[in-house]
Amino acid sequence: MRFFSGVLLLPCFVASVLGIFKDDAYHTDWHIPLIGPSLPTSTFFHQPNQDSKASLIYSLTDRSILAAINPKDGELVWRQQLKESAVNVARAGNGVVVSATGTSVSSFNAGNGRLVWENAFSQNVVDLRITPANKVAVLFADGVVRLLDDKSGDVAWEWRELDRCADDVLVCAYGDANFLRNSTDVPLSLHVTKSTLTVASQSLKKLWVSTIDLATGKSTSSTTHISTAADIPAKHQAHHGDELLSWTEESGRTLKFVALPSTTPASVAIPNDVVETVLLSSKDDVVVHFKTHGESWAHVYKVDAKGVASEVYAVRPRLGAHSAISLNSAGGKTYLVWTLPNGETVLYDVAKEEALASYTLINATEIDPRHSVSEVVPRPDGTSFAVRTFVSSAAPGFVGDSYLIRNGELAWSRKESLVSVVASTWIELLDPSTEEIVEELDAETHKSVGAAYVHRVTRHLNELSLYGPAWIQALPQRILGGFVNKGTEMPTGKWRDFFGFRKFVIVITAEGGVAAIDVGRNGEVVWQASLVNAGEKFRGVSGIYEVRKGHVGIVCTGGSYVEYNAFDGIEVLKQDFTPSVLSTAQVDTQGGKKIIIALLSNNKAIALPMGVDAEFDSVHLTVKDSTRSIKGIRVSPNLISSPTWTFVPPVGESITTIEGRPAHDPVASIGRVLGDRSVMYKYLNQHMIVISTVNPTAATASIYLIDSVSGSILHSATHAAVDVTQPIVATVSENWVIYSYFSDEAAEGTAKGYHLVVLELYESEFKNDRGSLADADEVSSFKGAGKPHVLSQSYVFPSAVKAFAVTDTKQGITSRDILALLPGTQGIYSIPKRVLDPRRPVGREPDAAEKEEGLFIYTPVIEIDPKSIITHKRKVMGLKKVVTTPSQLESTSIVFAYGGDLFGTRVAPSLAFDVLGKGFGKIQLVATVVGLTIASFMVAPMVRKKQINARWSL
Amino acid sequence: MQPSLPRLLLTLLGLLSLVSASDITATLQAWPLSAASPTPVGSVVYNPVTLTTSTTSLKPLSLKDDELIRIGSGDSDNGSWTVTTAGSLVNGKLVLQLDAEGRVYQVEVEQGRAAPEGVVGTEVELSRVVKGATPTLNKPVVLNAQGRVPEVEKEKTFLQKYWWLLLGMFILVVGGGGGDQAS
């Protein structure tokens, strides 16, 4: 029994040592929750319940996240990650927000975001509306309309008359006529009036409407087509309510709308240079908003009781391609809020042509609105208004950033575009203590010993006179500051703090935006720039590197190289080239500079920045050709690229992932010292890459360790009964590889579940032996430098792993933690490397030598201990990648995670051994020393007197 | 999990096909980085089941020792190629990577462990894909009909089992009458 308890306790013991301290949580880490770009028709102001006065902003985003935002400060009240889908609809109900993503419909409590009900169907949802009785009417892709109960989500009735015409029938009754049937109906939208539902669908290039009685679910009239010309479904954005149905004629130059239940459409000609048309409506007021590349304007229409629309007035054009209009009804009036590219807001009453109010944005920035929603409250004086507008931006590179403009004042903004970060690099900040004297130090190294000595003494004297007085003046304050133990404040600008916790991470969004995030100051965005111009499509990034101190170089796949000053975001250099880029690598030149080698799609190589005169050794790049082949390319010093090796896995296998060793991967010791003082030498190969393949027919997954110079296989292993649909994730560092896959139960003797496998590579299977490399002065991959001896062990892990990262410290002396990104909101889990050690004894207690080595008995399952989740209580969502970088402290590694939310923290895998903790009491220490000194001075005469008395008494 | 009959048959069939698998000939090609196309340099005949090579024939290459060449066994477009020097091909060990069916999917050169000087003629190694590590599970506890962990009956020692026999023999030996001395 004791044996078992010992086994159980051991992992707990290990984990509890490495958990996060309570006083570090929320201090050393930061988290920016993001929801992504809001969808125009699924974003609205809405009261969480009928009685509440304040409303929240509800938004469903293109990341399928439904969120409630507090309009006061922009904080998320709640958010829910729904199933990711291309079809996303959200509507406001009474006390609930109902959303549909893909095939499922769910209703959430508007106040706290709790799920009220969820109902999944077989077809995708096309449109969703809330009826006056708070029930949910849903239109599906197969043309079926279902009414769902507001309390349970159960289907109240189904209407299937849209698809009554089977595909194989040539002639069928459709509406009031017989038609030759060659295409299926495409359901478009759903409209609710007081007691009826109207379904709009398209068939035979015509628009049809069917009306259903809400109470019974039966058709009230036959399907009729309401347009004579050939129509296409709305190409414009339709931000309108239930009563309006709009579409565009096939020519694309006529916009039509009809105010239901009328069936006579009004038509509006779309001018030729218009690139985007938005139609908005609120009850019987209709606004058509036109945008060209240079300006935008709007026409306001009023629909009368007969359903005939007539133009009331037109808003004169204003400059700027992007602007957004929103309508809001308050106090019986409908207001039109127009947000211009520079953030200016103009308020109109739809009944009057002259503007009611205009607000210039005080803290003006280019907002480039894409769409907006607003809330207008007329103040009691009747002439002034409280206007707040939630704007989603279309700024190039940063599509989806959201702003709240309150009466011409930018209340808050959310960087929602950073939800799509795809690449990142770390930027070292400057050391304030050495930066100013760098040149002088450099001068000293180039002088003779005598001259350098004189130079240094004069420099020190100069510094003494320059900084000395100020230093002495600041001394009392510094000492006092040391006692008060207030948290050291992070510096700003381009300076790093003493411990190097402050670094910039430069990120690139999927739309081509570049942003510098300050990980030392809670993820603040320091600067941002765009790699694309307005209207341009970003083709992706091939490489992002710190090219020299304070400069970041970005290679865009489309064929351009851009260099920014990493501290202030000023573009230093921009070079364009053709054709597109396949792969990039950063190399050190013989002069100690860093350049980027880019392999282009015409198999030519170029050195970036172009025109740089640098000599470098041959570079080996790895390019994934297809799922069946990976190629090695050698770029020679004169920039001639030649294909070297090709890896084609065995028949039936397709390549899924490729991972290489990180660029900064210091190795503190080349061997591993065993308990008996012998050494096993690590197999360290900077060119080692890991390739994972899957074979769907045989349900196997294989892992290949390949030398990326020669292409030879260093080690390979195959796992049977693998669920090949689940991703295989791998990471490499030092002399080990860790990967995870999902094992199905089909294989005998294995456990169904996620497995973590660790491979450790040694030069030889024998102790104190360097294998085939024994006495070699130099080793060449080309000559077959011997195969490593591989130890491996596998563990069952309770969760899927989305990505791995390995903590990175300055010298690599600190033990490593493997950071596993768990899907969902589970966060980032840190596993100490010594848990994943293939030398752990299996089925027996470790002997004395093994214990000394720090090994403990093998347990097949690695439990997830909540204490080792470095995101602790934070609900992180959508993270895709974790990156690490060393700080100036050997114990500490800085972590940044992106891909959805942004999260940053610091971890100390071997605990913070080189820095005093927060609990260290300087006051107690000094007080003790002072107290002891005083006491010894006081006691000394007494002791002396006692001693003298003792002598005399003899 | 019990192996189903079709699965068993399949396995058997697989084994049969492997056992019956006759020798396979793999053509080796060398492709200098400077050349446009590969040239065959010889062939290796091997048995994919026993992992033994029967014949190896390699043409000498008329290349400088440090010239880089690609070696492989497939065609130039779809095959795997690894890079080595012409010299290593002669002196080193040739490794043929075999897939699950025993076909060569990659050829590479490995420097033999302390390759003796002047040995010409390539040594060939066949390398089959290894099974990856799987978790070493604990043994399941089998309960008896009462739902308890069955107590293992201790095996009785020879003495415990047959003491009465030994006792009988002892009595017989001790109590057995000696020779009829009187007569």
Residue predicted with more confidence, A720 or A479: A720
Res A466 pLDDT > 80: yes
pLDDT confidence bin for A775, thresholds 50/70/90: low
pLDDT beyond 60 at A172: no
Q: How far is CA A647 from the centre of its chain?
A: 32
Set of chain B residues whose Cβ sits within 8 Å of the Cβ of A646: 72, 79-81
In this prediction, residues A438-457 reach a mean pLDDT of: 84
β-strand pairing of A276-282 with A237-239: parallel
The per-residue pLDDT for A447 is 81
Tell me the count of A-B CB pairs closer than 8 A.
Answer: 149
Residue A786 sits at the chain B interface (C-beta within 8 Å): yes
Mutation pick from A713, A780, A795 vs chain B, by most beta carbons of B within 10 Å, is A713
In whole angstroms, what is the distance from residue A856 CA to residue A847 CA?
9
| C-beta atoms of B84 and A784 within 8 A | yes
Residue A314 pLDDT class (50, 70, 90 cuts): confident
**Phi, psi (rounded to 5 degrees) for A203:** -155, 140
Chain B interface disruption, residue of A722, A737, A782, most B CBs within 10 A: A782
Fill in the amino acid letter for A653. Answer: E
Beta strand segments in A355-503, E: 355-359, 369-378, 385-393, 402-406, 409-414, 421-427
Average pLDDT estimate for A243-249 = 79
Q: Is the model's pLDDT at A531 over the cut of 90?
A: yes
Mean pLDDT score of chain A, rounded to an integer?
A: 86
Task: Report percent pLDDT > 90 for chain A.
Answer: 49
Interchain proximity B136–A702, CB inside 8 Å: no
Taking CB atoms and an 8 Å cutoff, what residues of chain B touch A712?
Answer: 82, 84, 95, 106, 108-110
Q: What is the pLDDT of residue A17?
A: 46
What is the average pLDDT across A313-331? Answer: 85
pLDDT at A182 over 50: no
Per-residue confidence (pLDDT) for residue A177, from 0 to 100: 47
Q: How many CB atoms lie within 10 A of CB A670?
A: 13
What is the pLDDT at residue A189? 85
**Measured between CA atoms, how close is B116 to chain A, in angstroms?**
12
Cβ contact (<8 Å) for B1 and A646?
A: no
Return the minimum-mean-pLDDT range out of A91-105, A353-367, A927-941, B161-175: A353-367
Which range, of A61-70, B13-22, B26-35, averages the lowest pLDDT? B13-22
Tokens of B9: 């048959």
Q: Which of residues 660-699 of A touch B (CB under 8 A)?
A: 698
- Cβ-based contacts of B137 with chain A (< 8 Å): 749-751, 860
pLDDT tens by residue, B51-65: 888 777 777 777 777
Window 608-647 of A: residues touching B by CB (8 A cutoff) are 629, 632, 642, 644-647
pLDDT band at A461, cuts 50/70/90? very high
A241, pLDDT greater than 70: no
A302-308: average pLDDT: 81
User: Chain A neighbours among B 2-31 (CB < 8 Å)?
Assistant: 3
For the four alpha carbons of A365, A370, A373 and A375, in that order, the dihedral sign comes to positive
Note which residues in 762-781 of chain A have CB less than 8 A from chain B. Answer: 771-772, 774, 780-781
Question: Chain B partners of A713 at a C-beta cutoff of 8 Å?
Answer: 97, 106, 108, 127
Q: Do B70 and A644 touch (CB under 8 A)?
A: yes
User: Could you tell me the residue ranges of all domains in chain A?
Assistant: 415-429+493-573, 577-644, 921-954
Smallest CA-to-CA distance from A807 within A717, A892, A691 is with A892
Q: How far is A685 from chain B (nearest CA, A)?
A: 15
Tell me the pLDDT band of A277, cut-offs 50, 70 and 90: confident
Q: Residue A504 — very low, low, confident or very high, per pLDDT cuts 50/70/90?
A: very high
- The token pair at A520 is 């030392």
Chain A interface test: which of B82, B124, B136 (most A C-beta within 10 Å): B82
Q: What are phi and psi of A753, to 5 degrees?
A: 145, -175
Q: Which helix (H) or strand (E) holds A570?
A: none
Q: How confident is the model at residue A59 (pLDDT cuts 50, 70, 90)?
A: very high
Record: contact A771-B68, CB cut-off 8 A? no
The pLDDT tens digits of the residues spanning A810-854 come to: 999 999 999 999 987 779 999 999 999 999 999 899 999 999 999
Q: Is residue A43 exposed (0-12), middle (13-18) or buried (19+ Cβ within 10 Å)?
A: buried
Q: What SS3 state is found at A122?
A: coil
Whether residue A5 is predicted with pLDDT greater than 50 in this model: the reply is no
Question: Three-state SS for A671?
Answer: strand
Distance from CA of A630 to the nearest CA of B (A): 9
A166 has pLDDT over 50: no
B99 close contact with A: CB closer than 8 A: yes
Nearest to A717 among B101, B130, B137 (CB): B130
| Per-residue pLDDT at A485 | 58
- Decide: A284 and A312 in contact? Cβ < 8 Å: no
The answer to which of A202-211, A468-477, A702-711, B137-146 has the lowest mean pLDDT is A202-211
Tell me the mean pLDDT in the region A266-277. Answer: 85
Classify domain A415-429+493-573 by CATH number.
2.40.10.480
Asked if B81 and A646 come within 8 Å (Cβ–Cβ), the reply is yes
Among B74, B111, B129, beta carbon nearest to A718: B129
Identify the pLDDT of residue B11.
55
Instruction: Please tell me the predicted confidence (pLDDT) of residue A187.
Output: 82
**A789 shares contact with chain B (CB less than 8 Å):** no
Kindly indicate the confidence band of residue A2, based on its pLDDT and cuts at 50, 70 and 90.
very low
Mutate to test the interface with B, among A630, A635, A646 (most CBs of B within 10 A): A646
Cβ separation of A783 and B81 shorter than 8 Å? no
Dist. CA A436–CA A3, nearest whole Å: 61
pLDDT of residue A181: 45
